[in-house]
A and B are shown apart, each in its own frame.
Chain A
Amino acid sequence: MRTIRLMSSICAIAVLLSGVYPAAPVSADSAPIHIAVITDMSGVYSSLAGKGSVTAVQMAVDDFGGKVLGRSIVVDAVDHRDSATVADAKARQEFSNGADLAVDLTNSATALAVSSVGKEMHKLVIVTGAADKDITGKFCNKYTYMYAYDTYALAHAEAIPIVKGGDKLWYGVAPDYAFGHSMAEEFTNAIQPYGGKFVKIDFMPLGTTDFSSYMLAAKNSGAKVLALLNAGADTVNSMKAAKEFGLDKSMKIIAGLFFTSQVNTDPNLWTGLKFADSWYWDQTPQAAAWARRWEAKMGGDNPPDSIQAADYSATLQWLKAVKAVGSTDADKVVGYLDGHKFNDMYAVNGEFRTADHQVLHNFYLYEVLAPSQYKEKNAWLKIIGTIPGSEAFPNPATEGCAKTW
């Protein structure tokens, strides 16, 4: 009896607590506008996006005034748990409950899933956190914009300046699945026109934590550039292994996908690394001011990264578009956004490209400074190259996007 009471009380409490839930909207015209931030709130990417992305979107809503078209704006935080099936279900739920915009989508599988939901339900999806260039290629659709970066941009912004500088022999390590192969292909294509080539690219199985064998092979290969064509924990593990074998002294090391907030996890480890990104918190006074406001809201002293800044910018641009066309209807908003040029805290020379729904903006190559060289706290990077959006992002003519709008 006692245990039944225990179990029943646990269940009852859970049920009661879940009843603390916002009431459903009353009528469509005065109902609040919902923006769904579909992101990774609890898993591998939660530090890169997650709560920080939700905060960024909320800041955009607040800066815009909290209302548009006489309706208040509500930001819904949605955890996709890095699962395409969960993302699909949650997106459907949000859209059928009245959400007009899904933003963030960190993790390519979830981005693709939600993009097709948006296409089916005629709702706008702005992807800031995924890297798959097929989202503006063979999977392009009228209702999805790719806002921040993709594997093509990363490859071109990083590889070209270095291979132009004379380092033609490269060695790569990549994870053996879609992302890794995509990065390998992009980088190979990027350096080839300049005479660069990969001596070898090691594709390692998912879950490899020990990169020693590959680093040793890289050392023996005679290559001058080590390309870590991976992300997240893999980059950390391969960098640690590279330094163990002294590769940082004999080769240039670049990271395929690296976010600025990762530097803080181990500043000494990353000194000397070169990588590309669309935004860095300290690159303009405007950006720095926004970053400080974001830090204040988040508590702690880690600055935002480019995904979170892109979320802010995307939300702001969408709200402006909604106001301009007088409606949240996706078709009308797309009509306004296509071809629209803009500049803000995040995007320099920004443009919503009509041909493939890629949002263009400047892309940058950074180098990580040694901690002794920081001018102020967290000022880890220096810009060593700027690439205009039209060069950084894929060419719509060759991308394979079947434009149907």
Chain B
Amino acid sequence: MKLSVRAGLVLVLIAVLALVPFIGIPLPPLFGEALRSPGSMTLLAGCFIFGALALSYDVIFGYTGLLSFGHALYFAIGVYGTAIALTRWHWGLAGALAFVILMAIVLPAIIGAVCLRTHGIAFAMVTLAFAQAGSIVVMLNPYNLTGGEEGLALAASVLPAPFSGVANTRNLYWLALALLIFTYAAAAWLISSRPGRAWQAIRENETRAATVGLNPYLFKLGAFVASALLASLAGIVYVFLEGGAAPDVTTANFTLTLLVMVVLGGVGTLWGAVLGGIVYEYLDFRLVVLSSASGVQSLPPVLRVPLSQPLFILGVLFVLLVLFVPGGLAGAVRRLSSSSKRTILGGNKP
């Protein structure tokens, strides 16, 4: 597609999405109620946040080729860092944000420095180890900071006024949309920059990249920190949307979910990752409604029982996906428009 046509389409899409809070049309099959209702907007905002999060994971996994099992930790830094700074330490919004951004640069720099001494599955395991450590710290609730398994709610008084209360859901929606646009722009800029091209070279063949004078370790560390920072930003918006922090964002399961999103959408394509994040979060939410909908409940048991288990459906869909559509949704669309090589880690433009 020509660049100008593409750019135009993107702008139209953004405009449509921005106007959603004014659309009163109900879309029963896709959403239970009108698009502009708080429920639908919350769901869409959640989808956008996960799209941004999937993007951040694609930077390190899809473009740099590093399989990290601990990405959830950096999202959790955004979520818990903000919640703790605002609610436990009573800092102002600016101070809290500055603190989180600082943590989101320093912590992954240290952790990455340790983890990147390894490769392949060992690297995956070490990143997992740190994420597990984070998960345990959160559950242990030291100095009553994290709220343990019950999570940490944002006190109503610390939420910035435009974002608190059900009536202001549309502001949260726009914030999530802004996050997604920002993350996409940042990711696109990063991967087309000099470090970004180095990352892709490292993904293709690290030894060869080293021989042309790149220091793989430093570039990988850069990718690690950049993707962690983007994930933390998504975490900040998430904690505002949810009104609090909960420990399920620190689990290994959560990182694996991110992996599923990116593979679903198409590894190594930016808009594929966004699509994967949005589709997955949507299905995750709606499949549960689907499974308890009256139509399904009246099906014969042999169909009803499996369909009542959303994870079962997701698992089966995922198996089919990996077997038959390895390039994810993006790969499927690309094959429609041109013929390209069937690889999962291909060098693709955003």
Instruction: Mark A residues whose CB is within 8 Å of B.
Output: 1, 3-4, 6-7, 10, 14-24, 41-42, 77-79, 81, 83-85, 88-89, 92-93, 96-97, 108-109, 112-113, 116, 120-121, 132, 176-179, 205-206
Contact = CB atoms under 8 A, between A and B. Distances in A.
Contact of B150 (A3, A21, A109): A109
B141 interface: yes
B290 interface: yes
8 contacts: A18-B286, A21-B32, A79-B292, A81-B288, A93-B32, A113-B151, A176-B139, A177-B148
A211 to B, nearest CB: 19
B295 A116 contact: no
B150 A112 contact: yes
B28 A19 contact: yes
A81 B246 CA distance: 13
Contacts of A17: 290, 293, 295-296, 307
A83 to B, nearest CB: 5
Contacts of B153: 112-113, 116
The list of the 10 closest CB pairs from A to B, nearest first, reads: A20-B295, A19-B29, A93-B39, A178-B148, A18-B290, A109-B150, A84-B246, A85-B246, A85-B242, A84-B151
Interface stretch (B86-94, B213-221, B269-277, B309-317): B309-317
A24 B26 contact: yes
Contacts of B292: 41, 77-79
Contacts of B102: none
B325 A96 contact: no
Given A4-B336, A96-B37, A84 B32 contact: no
B42 interface: yes
A220 to B, nearest CB: 27
B143 interface: no
A206 B252 CA distance: 14
Contacts of A177: 139-141, 148-149
Nearest to B283: A14
A88 B149 contact: no
A84 B290 contact: no
B4 interface: no
Given A3-B325, A21-B32, A42-B311, A96 B166 contact: yes
Contacts of B148: 177-178
A246 B110 CA distance: 49
A10 B317 contact: yes
Contacts of A6: 320, 324-325
Greatest chain A CB density within 10 A among B29, B32, B150, B293 is at B150
Nearest to A108: B150
A178 B149 contact: yes
A132 B307 CA distance: 33
Given A83-B246, A177-B140, A21 B149 contact: no
B204 interface: no
Q: Is the interface of A mostly helix, strand, loop or mixed?
A: helix
B30 interface: yes
A189 to B, nearest CB: 19
Contacts of B290: 14, 17-18
A92 B151 contact: no
Contact of A21 (B243, B288, B289, B332): B289
Contacts of A21: 28-29, 32, 289, 293-295
A4 B293 contact: no
B96 to A, nearest CB: 20
B160 to A, nearest CB: 17
A92 B242 CA distance: 11
B244 interface: yes
Interface in B303-337: 307, 309-311, 317, 320-321, 324-325, 329, 332-333, 335-336
Interface in B16-34: 26, 28-30, 32-33
A383 to B, nearest CB: 32
B136 A109 contact: no
B38 interface: yes
Greatest chain A CB density within 10 A among B295, B320, B335 is at B295
Greatest chain A CB density within 10 A among B33, B39, B139, B149 is at B149
Nearest to B331: A3
Given A18-B293, A79-B288, 18 more contacts: A4-B335, A6-B325, A7-B325, A14-B283, A15-B30, A19-B28, A19-B29, A20-B293, A21-B293, A21-B294, A84-B246, A85-B242, A89-B46, A93-B32, A108-B149, A177-B140, A178-B141, A206-B136
Interface in B37-52: 37-39, 42, 46
A365 to B, nearest CB: 28
A84 B139 contact: no
Contacts of A42: 309-311
B237 to A, nearest CB: 14
B287 interface: yes
Nearest to B43: A89
Nearest to B165: A120
A289 to B, nearest CB: 27
A112 B311 CA distance: 26
A16 B286 CA distance: 12
